[in-house]
Amino acid sequence: MLKQLGFILILLSASFFGFTSQFIHNEPQPSYFGLAKYFSHDDVLSLDEVRQQEESIWNDINLKDASFGFNERHFWFKIPIQNIHDSNTQWFLRSNYPLLDNIDVYLLADNQVVQEFHSGDTLPFAQRPIQQPTFVFPLDLHTDQEYSIYLHVQTTSSLQLALSLQTESHFWQNAATENAISAAFYAILLSMLFYNSVIFFIVRARTYLYYVLYIASFTLFMASIHGWGYQLLWPNSPRIHELSVVFLIGPTIIFAALFSSTFLKLATIRPGLNRLILLFIWITLIYSLAALILPYAIMIRVGAALSIMAAAISISTTLQEWLRTKSREIMLFIIAWTTVLVGFLLYGGQKFGLLPINALTEHAIEIGAILEVLLLALGLADRINNERKKRLVAQQKMLDIQIKANQELDNKVRERTEELELLNDHLQTASITDSLTQVKNRHYFDRKFPSEYRRAYRDKSNIALLIIDIDHFKSFNDNYGHQAGDVVLQAVAKSIKDVMQRSSDAVSRYGGEEFTVLLPSTPQEGAYQVAEKIRQSIADLQVEWQENTFSVTISIGLASVIPSHYEGEDMLLKQADDFLYVAKDHGRNQVVYEDNDPSALSSSND
């Protein structure tokens, strides 16, 4: 793209240099006029009145770079020419500035008007003798004939002529070249407009919207000052053409300011400066509305000043942000606005008559605009890439944070789950454990006993049950108190647990001073041995309480069976309980079961 830009600049330069002869030579060549005469007047004068003016009022001027700035007086120019070519040919007189309000051309030969043209951008475009954005007049010049051209110009815009006289063929060749350059210029603007419009519809970012609107406004503004807008868009409305030049300055500045503000994110990082820019935008909006009713001569000056101020504000603002951030896209932004500011200064200086007319000053805005849109596009692309990188970094950070948070949550959940499981285990243990004796409680026994009984039924195996009661416990409790009774209960429970060897055996406090021992897969003989060990262990106990030592005995009822019914556990429980009462009725401190039931033995003896 930079090669294409360089080619365009070369064409622009080649189109405007090298033609300086005042006279038409034997080989027809395009020619800028050299010296001529001119004077200005406040009033409208006719051609006859001009010709009657004294010679002393006429001033010498070089028409090649004639520029009078903003001057609303009526200017008359007198140009002598002679065709010394071998044949009669048609030559094109061209003024290369398209914003002249009124331009009248009179061709005189032998003091007689032989051709007369009236044009300007206050007349419909169709009235121009040659349909071109600039003013072109075909002159019929005969061989060796001396002519005088009287040119009348009056305008409220900058008064410039840039006159040239060219043969028809050379004119169209030059016009084709210049039109190609213009086409390339507008192609760049329109391609950037289309490209960034597509990006806006994809990313939906306001920055791109303002940039697209800025390019659109700027393109229309340039088309107006080049004359293309009048030729192609509103050829039948001189009023719209006049208003378009001053009016379009406003939207161009407004959207440029909005673009700058959003690009630099001033609303967030520099709210005070952003409010100042918004104030400038409102002032420009008022200017745009005023441009519709106030005189062109006033508003074009105000518009030029606003344009330079807008570019200067953008550069200073962007420079401050670059000094703060040192970012590449902001540096591109600075260079872009600097190029357009320089372009406006050169172009404005030429229009105000402060700088000469040449290819650089005449096309300074175009050169600055091409560089600007390219640099801003690069800056926007850089911004997108940086923001994408930042988003990726932010996403990675968020992902890392999320992963860490999930890990922490998993750890907390796992810890909490372990705590809950531990608590649940404690609760479950507490729910089946007697808090005083730390053996299983009645609730546990009521669930465990039926389950073991049914398993024994399924396995056709023995199940034994011991019911243990502490002898004389009520009297002991009444005499020594419940605290002493609790100590006895704890000592008895510990002794019972100490005798148990298998994990499947279950010791439970059945209620009060009664305990049960559930012995799965244990026949009567084995259960009796366990019961005797328990009885003897407790008989050997010496329980201490308040400096007193007590002996404890127990009575045990034992029942063992291979279940023949699925739900016969109540019968086994009743049988063991009955043997317990037999043991208590026959002297206590003994184990009673079916084969050694004292009551049964005494009945048989009787």
pLDDT tens, residue by residue, 559-572 = 999 998 888 889 99
Spell 153-176 as b/e; 16+ CB within 10 A means b. Answer: bbbbbbbbbbbbbbbeebbeebbe
- Residues 533, 536: Cα–Cα separation, whole Å: 5
Phi, psi of 111 (to 5 degrees): 65, 20
**Mean pLDDT, the chain, integer:** 82
Q: Of 23 and 582, which is predicted with more confidence? A: 582
Residue 504 contacts by C-beta under 8 Å, 6 or more apart in sequence? Answer: 520, 521
- Domain 442-605 class in CATH: alpha beta
Of 368-377, 423-432, 468-477, 499-508, minimum mean pLDDT range: 368-377
Q: Are 97 and 163 in contact (CB under 8 A)?
A: no
pLDDT tens, residue by residue, 391-405 = 788 888 888 888 888
- For the chain, state the CA radius of gyration: 57
Residue 352 binned pLDDT confidence (cut-offs 50, 70, 90): low
pLDDT of 525 > 60? The answer is yes
C-beta neighbour count of 70 within 10 angstroms: 17
Pick the CATH number of 181-385 from 1.10.540, 3.40.50, 1.10.287, 1.20.1070: 1.20.1070
- The catalytic residue positions are 513
Look-up of token digits 């200064």: 345
DSSP code of residue 25: -
DSSP code of residue 83: B
Q: Are 15 and 359 in contact (CB under 8 A)?
A: yes
pLDDT tens, residue by residue, 105-138 = 999 999 899 999 999 999 999 999 999 999 999 9
∠ at Cα 294 (289, 300), nearest 5°? Answer: 85
- Residues 74, 120: Cα–Cα separation, whole Å: 14
In this structure, the strands spanning 554-561 and 591-592 are parallel
Burial grade of 86 (CB within 10 A; 0-12, 13-18, 19 or more): exposed
User: DSSP alpha helices (H): ranges in 433-505?
Assistant: 442-459, 473-480, 482-499
Residue 296 binned pLDDT confidence (cut-offs 50, 70, 90): confident
Q: Of 606 and 489, which is predicted with more confidence? A: 489
Q: Are 522 and 560 in contact (CB under 8 A)?
A: yes
Which residue in 361, 235, 307, 297 sits closest to 101, CA to CA? 297
Query: What residues does 32 pair with on adjacent strands?
Result: 164
pLDDT of 601 > 60? The answer is no
User: DSSP alpha helices (H): ranges in 36-167?
Assistant: 47-51
Residue 21 binned pLDDT confidence (cut-offs 50, 70, 90): very low
Of 55-64, 67-76, 205-214, 423-432, minimum mean pLDDT range: 423-432
Whether 181-385 shares its CATH topology with 442-605 is answered no
Domains of the chain by residue range: 19-174, 181-385, 442-605
What pLDDT is recorded for position 350?
61
What pLDDT is recorded for position 553?
92
Which range of 225-229, 301-305, 530-534 scores highest in mean pLDDT? It is 530-534
Burial grade of 34 (CB within 10 A; 0-12, 13-18, 19 or more): middle
- Residues 511, 485: Cα–Cα separation, whole Å: 14
Residue at 261: amino acid letter: S
* Three-class DSSP category at 22: coil
Phi, psi of 144 (to 5 degrees): 65, 10
In CATH, 19-174 is 3.40.50.150: no
In this structure, the strands spanning 163-167 and 31-32 are antiparallel
Residue 55 contacts by C-beta under 8 Å, 6 or more apart in sequence? Answer: none
Q: Are 549 and 479 in contact (CB under 8 A)?
A: no
Q: Are 319 and 362 in contact (CB under 8 A)?
A: no
